[in-house]
Amino acid sequence: MLNVAGLEASYGSSQVLFGVSLTVSEGQAVALLGRNGMGKTTTIKSIVGALTPTRGSITFNGTSLAKLRDYEICRLGFGYVPEGRRIFQHLTVQEQLDAFVRKRDNARNWNTADVFELFPALAARRRSASGLLSGGEQQMLAIGRALVTSPRLIILDEATEGLAPVIRDRIWSVLAELKRQKLSILIVDKNIDDIMALADYAYILNKGTVAWSGTAEALLPDRETQQRLLAV
Ligand SMILES: Nc1ncnc2c1ncn2[C@@H]1O[C@H](COP(=O)(O)OP(=O)(O)OP(=O)(O)O)[C@@H](O)[C@H]1O
Ligand SMILES: [Mg+2]
């Protein structure tokens, strides 16, 4: 479904990705792991068109994303939950979700009511300005906003970072439910146990290259790889 091959990317004159390749198949949950600054967000930004790669190819169901703008990439069916959430502060929760609703053939179609069912805490704040929400509520809103675009693939960058345990747990159980519904997922997160409980497959980035890739079953018992590439 998503195929990234030989991706290279730079900020100005400093290159940060050196040939990243990864694949997300239909209905699969894929984890992108690695320590701080290893290139996870840069990889995601390149995929969603927020950054133009200097080399490599990115295709989605066979369509090259190279010449597309970020909104066109979104239209293809990417639901993107960015690092730091980036919600619109002045819209209410309801307005913000309503503004992003779109219908799509061959995908589960979501509306605002579906999101409120998934996150009842958000329904209770539907008339609040989004900027007044707690961090956890804003994160649920960011996920809901991605879902109402009725994505074929949802991409989450550090969606549980800095949140209270009860909210983190809610988000992980929602992601497990989305996976059961066969939504494809590409996720960056530092909670190894939680992310590996969800993911089928993992890629570990180290200094802008894929240093390890394999199944969750292979990574979980592999203390040496975890220590070498993930331990802080
Ligand atoms: N806007 C930017 N301008 C210049 N350098 C950047 C920029 N964003 C990231 N970098 C650098 O690129 C490298 C990769 O950063 P990136 O954000 O992709 O890492 P990450 O794996 O997502 O890290 P984290 O776990 O901290 O989110 C780092 O060395 C970082 O300092
Ligand atoms: Mg990052």
Q: What domains, with CATH codes, occur in the chain?
A: 2-229 (3.40.50.300)
Residue 74's pLDDT band, with cuts at 50, 70 and 90, is confident
Nearest ligand to the CA of 51 is 1
Which atom in ligand 1 lies closest to the alpha carbon of residue 41?
22
Q: Is pLDDT above 90 for 88?
A: no
Do 70 and 218 contact (CB within 8 A), yes or no?
A: no
Could you tell me the distance, in angstroms and rounded to a whole number, from the CA of residue 150 to the centre of ligand 2?
A: 24
Q: Is pLDDT above 90 for 232?
A: no
Could you tell me the distance, in angstroms and rounded to a whole number, from the CA of residue 42 to the centre of ligand 1?
A: 6
Contacts of 81 (CB under 8 A, 6+ apart): 142, 143, 145, 146, 154, 155, 156, 157, 159
Residue 231's pLDDT band, with cuts at 50, 70 and 90, is confident
Residue 68's pLDDT band, with cuts at 50, 70 and 90, is confident
Nearest ligand to the CA of 36 is 1
Which atom in ligand 1 lies closest to the alpha carbon of residue 38?
21
* pTM for the structure as a whole: 0.95
Residue for token pair 């300005």: 129
Residue 165's pLDDT band, with cuts at 50, 70 and 90, is very high
Could you tell me the distance, in angstroms and rounded to a whole number, from the CA of residue 129 to the centre of ligand 2?
A: 27
Q: Is pLDDT above 80 for 218?
A: yes
With a 6 Å cutoff on the Cβ, whether 39 touches ligand 1 is: yes
10 Å CB burial of residue 40 (0-12, 13-18, 19+) is buried
